[in-house]
Amino acid sequence: MSARTGGRQAKAPVLAAGALCWRRTARGLEVLVVHSARYDEWSWPKGKPEVVAATGTDGHRELLPECAVREVAEETGVQVRLGRPLPEVSYRLPDGRQKRVSYWVGRPYEYGEPTASADEIDDVRWIPAEQAHEHLSRGGDLRPLDRLLHLARRERLGTRALLVVRHARAVPRKQWAGEEDERPLTLVGLRQARRLVTLLDCWQPVVVETSPWRRCVDTVRPYTQREHVALHKDVELTEVTALQDPAAAASVVRRLVGADEDAVICTHRPVLGPVTAALRESATRSAARALPSSDPWLGKGELLVGHVTPETTGSRIRAVERFDIG
């Protein structure tokens, strides 16, 4: 229900998402901007979440990272992996509603043709990042740009993603007569696992490490099958090992924080305590504040994203996000 302000019903804000795509060329750091034919303005590629219909399931609305990746591809033809979140841009629409646009750093990995109509986007350009202030039509769009330039100057623009997911919804323990490590996902859990694929795609982890128990394996298997990524089963991530040796799961986290590739861990609620503690060891103060602080740590099927920067003193988690696939 919408909130009421001053006796009038407040209108819900309009949410949108996009990315500041960057690359380095002989001209230096460049960013990607688009021209709106409808509003005659230059801005970052962005758009509103869509309802996605999946085979055999009800439609669901995109999460904002999924929306950002899709909108960039549609408006520019560029496929991106998301990096760190950037400052949100907010402004008032003609109908009085507030529009709030979430942005991420975007690193291109593939170039194609845009699919947005010319009536929507009629020009796409790579421009020197230092000149983008003069190019953008809205003053609010400077906030994420200034942050991106700040990160570039400190050599913290390029990041890796370390993702942690709690397994999707499983059959309750009291309703399962078989072995605990074979307890399966429910129909809701299977749907969550399918939903997780497009969300993980926003960061495209190439290392997938999971508890070998069935409910964890089945949570990440749809992603590994679609992306043809190897699935590694670690006994260190099981509930039994966590009870016997809590440091075992922490060692997996430390190894992946220091690795060179994007990775995802799938595990259980009792294991998330030592996992979170290990993440906190490598996190900056601001990132640590965004980490879960108490049990149950993450909801079933919830994803945590840690943005890692390689540094001379050791890799550091400098930003943390959480996304619930419901």
The pair of structure tokens assigned to 76 is: 């520019």
Residue 1 has a pLDDT of: 41
Distance CA 66, CA 201 (A): 8
Q: Which CATH class is domain 4-153?
A: alpha beta
Nearest to 252 by CA among 260, 268, 263: 263
- Residue 53: predicted pLDDT: 67
pLDDT at residue 313, rounded to an integer: 82
What pLDDT sits at residue 9?
Answer: 63
What is the CATH number that goes with domain 160-324? 3.40.50.1240
Question: Of 202, 170, 161, which Cα lies nearest the Cα of 188?
Answer: 170
Q: Distance between alpha carbon 1 and the CA centroid of its chain, in Å? A: 28
Model pLDDT, residue 183: 98
- Cβ 30 vs Cβ 132: under 8 Å: no
Its pTM stands at 0.93
Predicted pLDDT at 2: 44
Q: How far apart are CA 109 and CA 203, in angstroms?
A: 11
d(CA 293, CA 129): 38
Domain boundaries, the chain: 4-153, 160-324
C-alpha to C-alpha distance for 133 and 139, rounded to whole angstroms: 9
Low-confidence ranges of the chain (pLDDT < 50): 1-6, 56
**What is the structure's pLDDT at 311?**
86
